[in-house]
Amino acid sequence: MGQCIGIMFLGVALGISFEVGFSLIGAAVYRMLSIMDK
């Protein structure tokens, strides 16, 4: 039971870190594209 909760917690932590990483990368790419357009 404890192992299952640990795996779930790890999955949630990975999901959050992936989401934060993708939003940061997306913001950087969007900024680069908007600078190149000008």
Does residue 26 carry a pLDDT above 90? yes
Residue of higher predicted confidence among 2 and 13: 13
Does residue 3 carry a pLDDT above 90? no
Q: How many independent structural domains does the chain possess?
A: 1
pLDDT in tens, 4-16: 889 999 999 999 9
Evaluate if pTM is beyond 0.85: no
> Domain range spanning residue 30?
1-37
CA proximity to 29, closest of 17, 21, 18: 21
Place of tokens 């594209």: 33
DSSP string of 1-38, one letter each residue: -HHHHHHHHHHHHHHHHHHHHHHHHHHHHHHHHHHHH-
